């Protein structure tokens, strides 16, 4: 062990000389230690460097790790997608222009299948429903009124309980000039329309 001079400029205490590599045992797996510290007598060990493997094995391990990570990602995505579609959401495509300009032909929607388990549809909600005369066909419409409400249309203007519907989101070129109603919405029913 060599002696180091202790001066006021020194930031380290006297340290022993490193061991002689020719004396080190070949059975010891000593990896270099990475240290960090600020001026002063204390150093902090922040990590131990890995023993370098042969380049050939390292490349195979890296490739294997990448393949395993990709497979895990794909399996996770498939499981999540299955759970989401089965229990919560459905992807649907709009066929037609009845919801224009809000939804255009061939737009894709993600439909939340659970939201109405927690509450009832409200006027203004866009809903996906089965067509009563052909249950294999799905419609996308906007809820206008609920049970107990009275709906009428005068010159294309919709009234719910004699109050004009706030439909400023619909441009004039999409408005009709039809008359309909008045109609009282029965219990357990909703009145829906395209935009």
User: In a structure prediction context, what are the per-residue pLDDT tens digits for the chain, which is 195 residues long?
Assistant: 444 444 445 444 555 555 555 444 444 444 454 444 454 455 554 555 555 555 666 888 888 889 999 999 999 999 888 877 777 888 888 888 888 888 899 998 888 888 888 889 999 999 988 888 888 888 899 999 999 999 999 988 899 999 999 887 777 777 788 899 899 999 999 999 988
Alpha-helical (H) ranges within the chain are 55-87, 115-118
CATH of 89-193, one of 2.60.40, 2.30.30, 2.10.109, 1.25.40: 2.10.109
Task: Give the residue carrying structure tokens 């495509």.
Answer: 93
Q: Which residues are catalytic?
A: 98, 141
The answer, as to whether pTM is greater than 0.85, is no
Cα–chain-centroid distance for residue 104? 24
Domain boundaries, the chain: 1-20+28-87, 89-193
Contact 117, 134 (CB under 8 A): no
């Amino acid at each position: 062990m060599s002696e180091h001079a202790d001066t006021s400029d020194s930031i380290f205490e006297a340290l022993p000389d490193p061991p002689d590599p020719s004396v080190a045992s070949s059975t010891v797996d000593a990896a270099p230690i990475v240290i960090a510290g600020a001026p002063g007598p204390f150093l902090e060990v922040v990590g131990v460097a890995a023993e370098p493997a042969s380049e050939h094995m390292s490349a195979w391990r890296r490739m294997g790790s990448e393949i395993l990570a990709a497979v895990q990602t794909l399996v996770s995505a498939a499981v999540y997608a299955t759970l989401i579609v089965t229990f919560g959401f459905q992807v649907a495509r709009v066929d037609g222009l009845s919801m224009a300009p809000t939804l255009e032909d061939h737009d894709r929607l993600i439909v939340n299948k659970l939201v109405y388990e927690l509450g009832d549809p409200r006027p203004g909600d866009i809903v996906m429903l089965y067509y009563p005369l052909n249950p294999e066909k799905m419609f996308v419409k906007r809820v206008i009124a609920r049970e107990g409400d009275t709906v009428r249309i005068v010159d294309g203007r919709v009234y719910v309980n004699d109050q004009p519907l706030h439909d400023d989101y619909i441009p004039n070129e999409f408005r009709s000039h039809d008359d309909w109603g008045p109609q009282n919405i029965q219990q357990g029913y909703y009145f829906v329309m395209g935009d």
